[in-house]
A and B are shown apart, each in its own frame.
Chain A
């Protein structure tokens, strides 16, 4: 459960953001990042629907590659 997923912010409405990761859209709460300047196009590390921290695009992309490898490796873990 502690595995976070980097997502890119597409739209922001108050503490709620619409984020995308490789074509998948999710509602993400920015409540835990309320002291940080956050803008559309920023990348955030998301865990259980909450953004934990901002991150760079390069870091986000390398984590996506890692997640792809993991899902290919253990199909049982998809969707969890």
Chain B
């Protein structure tokens, strides 16, 4: 018989937990479901759910957003991007646009899209123009970009690629002195594409319990129960609580397409730094579509706070799960979904936006 969310909650409450357990999730979709369903309030007090690196827009390098703004303002291109990239702020002088949205208001041809296929259509409909697709995303978004490339794209379409792999950020945290969590909820749709096995290093190399979860409260609660039980029994294994779409090995065709279209490279994470083998570059056969190579750089010498978060913004520590969103002093005061300062308040997957939009007022601290 299928267990309901209530059944799982009862099972969790019945566990003989005596110590504090911090469970990290690395997916904005998970964080949204957890917050929306009010899971934090429903769980025993010593079980903490920490939002970790689960927002690709939040870690997209500041330089890349700045580059996109400059291309749109000065290269005469049509710039297309997923909607939430448009409001991400950069550190530009006051007279200059500080986001793609402001560049659009200043006359740049910037168009929000919701699928890589739209980028292809816009390029086909405008053969006399150069079109730049600025894309940040984790594997779930990167695989469709690879599919788009392999299906064939027009000559006038260029990519400004800021895609990232999810697991290397978790590996970096676990290799650090204070990982800051005792168990992991692994991302459901990343595992759908890449296979759950990608996360076995968490249980096998670090003896940290882990479970792949879907986005319904029932799946998240099953995963929370699984990792708590693993902790209590002292035996770690990678559980799959999202078998609906997460199959052993993942989507093999999609992984092959990723390998054919893109190379894995060291990559910069905004406010965090370089994480080895955590990003993607176009494979040599697609180099002609690389916006960085085709248009060159636009970085101005002497620009202040290059690569950093905006002044006073604690998004980098929020992304790493070192503090809760409400521990940032700008949260809900200077920084709100309507007037975002940092990227975590912009993106639908940013923990700050999710907490603020849902009116979370838990005076929580992680330390």
Contact = CB atoms under 8 A, between A and B. Distances in A.
Do these two chains interact? yes
Interface of A: 1-4, 15, 27, 29, 31-36, 45, 47-50, 52-56, 59, 62-63, 66, 69-70, 73-74, 76-77, 80
A53 B242 CA distance: 12
Contacts of B185: none
Contacts of B138: 2
A73 B189 CA distance: 22
B196 interface: no
Contacts, number: 119
A74 B337 CA distance: 12
Contacts of A69: 36
B56 interface: yes
Contacts of B245: 4, 45, 52-55, 59
20 contacts: A1-B348, A2-B28, A2-B190, A4-B192, A15-B151, A35-B253, A45-B189, A45-B245, A47-B141, A48-B116, A50-B115, A52-B251, A54-B245, A56-B244, A66-B216, A66-B217, A73-B36, A73-B358, A74-B36, A80-B84
Contacts of A47: 140-141, 144, 189
B27 A32 contact: no
A76 B354 CA distance: 11
B83 A33 contact: no
B29 interface: yes
A48 B145 CA distance: 9
Nearest to A53: B245
Closest 8 CB pairs of A and B: A49-B115, A50-B144, A59-B244, A31-B147, A53-B245, A32-B254, A3-B29, A35-B253
Given A32-B257, A49-B144, 16 more contacts: A1-B57, A1-B84, A1-B140, A3-B29, A3-B32, A29-B117, A29-B151, A31-B257, A32-B147, A32-B253, A36-B253, A45-B192, A48-B82, A48-B144, A50-B144, A76-B337
B251 A63 contact: no
B277 interface: no
B273 to A, nearest CB: 23
Size category, B interface: 35 or more
B345 to A, nearest CB: 12
A53 B192 contact: yes
B357 A29 contact: no
Given A29-B147, A32-B144, A63 B253 contact: no
Given A50-B115, A74-B357, A1 B144 contact: no
Interface in B50-83: 56-57, 82-83
A73 B358 CA distance: 8
Interface string B242-276: 00110100011110010000000000000000000
Interface in B268-304: none
Interface string B127-163: 0000000000110110110010011000000000000
A2 B140 CA distance: 6
Contacts of B357: 74, 76-77
Contact of B215 (A3, A49, A52): A3
B10 interface: no
B184 interface: no
Contacts of A70: 32-33, 36
Given A76-B357, A80-B84, A4 B253 contact: no
A49 B32 contact: no
Contact of B143 (A27, A50, A55, A74): A50
A52 B138 CA distance: 14
B139 to A, nearest CB: 9
A12 to B, nearest CB: 15
Given A29-B151, A50-B147, A80 B348 contact: yes
B113 to A, nearest CB: 9
B349 interface: yes
Given A52-B254, A55-B244, A2 B187 contact: yes
